[in-house]
Amino acid sequence: MKLLILVAITIFSIFIYEQAFASHIPIPIPKDDHEPGMRTVIDWYVPRSHSVNVGDVVTWTNEDPAPHTVTSGNGMLYSKYLRGETVGTPNGIFDSGIINPGESWSYTFSEVGVFPYFCTLHPWVERTITVVDSGKDVPSPKKQLSEGVQPYDVQCKPEYSLIFKTHNQKPVCVKSESTDRLISLGWALSYDPFPKIIEASKFEQVLVTLQGEDRVSEILSDQKLEAGPKMTYLSVSLDGGILLASSSGSDTVHAFDMIKGEKISSVSVGKTPKGVKINHDGKIAFVANENSGTVSVLDMTNLQLIKEIEIGKIPHNIVFHPNGLIAYVTIQGEDEIAIVDVRELEKIDTIPIGSLPHNLDITPDGQRLFVTNIGTNDVSVIDLSTKDLIKKIPVSKGHHGIDIPPFGDRVFVSGIGDDKVSVIDATSLEVIGQIVVGQGPHGLRTDFHSNKLYVGVTQTNEIVVIDTMNLEIVERVYAGNNPFWIAVAGNP
């Protein structure tokens, strides 16, 4: 059976998967399943999740050269496994014992419920069985998530489809006939109509501004596009179709159609534009203009400037809240964060922050804001419900880039005045490691699955690729002259 990867953004091809509600359900454990590199979204126990009826028999067959188990309970992140932490948490409902290569094991599900399971030998391998009664409701998405089901494993009733809200990427079940309209309106990122499976293409994008060449580049395809003087920041739409990049030397934002690989517009904005960000719904974008103290608002439908918001002295960069209704802007000249109402396009509040706040990112749940401070070489963590400072975390010498991956429990911070990327545990708020990448790291972003971290190293002209689980460099790619900032489709 084909390995299936469900991705909420990128280019999708839809295949009908005829799932028979038979009494015997086969699930292969594929070749190389034991390898950590197989830990992407749906690469183990193919497909990742099954919905079966009460009384059905599920049979796992080990097609991998390594032994495995099928054990009910929750596994663990590969990074925690490497640190020697407890090997998953069995709950005692079922346990296959060792399934050697070529062997099979079966289990009959007699009760309704959601049953996460994992391999005790390779505990980063996790999957889910949802058992339903044809005469009763499937558990709600909220209930399934509370019982350990991963977002892309959530099951819906046959007449409903799974979608992901654009503003927070949370799964919900809606009437199947509504999905196309919700997507067309920009309210949903993607969906998985039962019993269909969406298969992602292998298309990826890693986009970078090349300050030394006045161009932007897509690293994986080595495509370079002419832009303007002193290319600084860039932002890509969630689907990877439209790229915006700021030219600080010409007070311009350039727009590119990344499907066609061509520039489609250049928009004059305020003085010395730096940070640029497209909102999650793809309808507007904000640009921070350092030397005019404003945020330019761009209408993404026609790529026109529609408003300048007076924001404060030396604004630098922007992040939108996952709900798409609020934006946060670093104000370096006043040591604060400006809060902008996205609907009204007005500055509504500020948060005192630290010395020279520079770049920032927000947790996927929208609860915490992480802000890098040039003046003190640290990261401020803000509780957005109270606007209180939780902690300041020392990092390497700035100025800094920062990325909070869509999934996982880490925050990555670069320091252009140093040669390291700092790794912060998002729960304990402690630095748990530093990765030496070369002199002058600045822009950095993980891929949508949060498996790879791409770091632009300005002095070596490389993109360094890091495995986010074991925190090891896996590749170095020549990028061009002075790779400054990075955007990745799905984690822009």
Residue scoring higher pLDDT (239 or 179)? 239
Do 212 and 193 belong together in one domain?
Answer: no
pLDDT-based confidence at 187, cuts 50/70/90? low
- Determine the pLDDT at residue 46: 41
Amino acid, res. 60: W
Query: Which CATH number does the domain housing residue 105 bear?
Result: 2.60.40.420
Query: Mean of the pLDDT values across residues 127-144?
Result: 74
Per-residue pLDDT at 2 exceeds 50? no
- Domain membership of residue 5 (yes or no) is no
Which of 169, 200, 231 represents a domain boundary (last residue)?
Answer: 200
Do 231 and 83 belong together in one domain?
Answer: no
Could you tell me which residues are beta bridge partners of residue 368?
A: 383
Dump pLDDT digits (tens) for 81-95: 444 555 678 899 999
Instruction: Give the whole-number percent of the chain exceeding pLDDT 90.
Output: 54
Dump pLDDT digits (tens) for 14-38: 222 333 344 677 888 877 555 544 3
Dump pLDDT digits (tens) for 245-302: 999 999 999 999 987 889 999 999 999 999 999 998 788 999 999 999 999 999 998 9
Per-residue pLDDT at 122 exceeds 90? no
Q: Are 24 and 59 in contact (CB under 8 A)?
A: yes
What is the distance between the alpha carbons of residues 290 and 31, in angstroms, rounded to a whole number?
A: 53
Which of 200, 235, 258 represents a domain boundary (last residue)?
Answer: 200
Amino acid, res. 416: I
Per-residue pLDDT at 457 exceeds 60? yes
- Domain membership of residue 120 (yes or no) is yes
Residue 67 backbone dihedrals phi, psi, to 5 degrees: -70, 155
Query: Which CATH number does the domain housing residue 422 bear?
Result: 2.130.10.10
What is the distance between the alpha carbons of residues 69 and 16, in angstroms, rounded to a whole number?
A: 30
pLDDT-based confidence at 175, cuts 50/70/90? low
pLDDT-based confidence at 188, cuts 50/70/90? low
Range of the domain at 167: 12-200
Which CA distances in Å does 426 have to 210, 305, 467?
A: 30, 37, 17
Which CA distances in Å does 189 have to 57, 159, 238, 269?
A: 34, 20, 8, 29
Per-residue pLDDT at 436 exceeds 50? yes
Total domain count for the chain? 2
- Determine the pLDDT at residue 184: 52
Dump pLDDT digits (tens) for 343-363: 999 999 999 998 999 999 999
Q: Are 338 and 329 in contact (CB under 8 A)?
A: yes
- Domain membership of residue 1 (yes or no) is no
- Determine the pLDDT at residue 291: 97
Do 166 and 218 belong together in one domain?
Answer: no
Threshold 0.75, pTM exceeds: no
- Determine the pLDDT at residue 114: 78
* Assigned token pair, 305: 């400037």
Do 95 and 215 belong together in one domain?
Answer: no
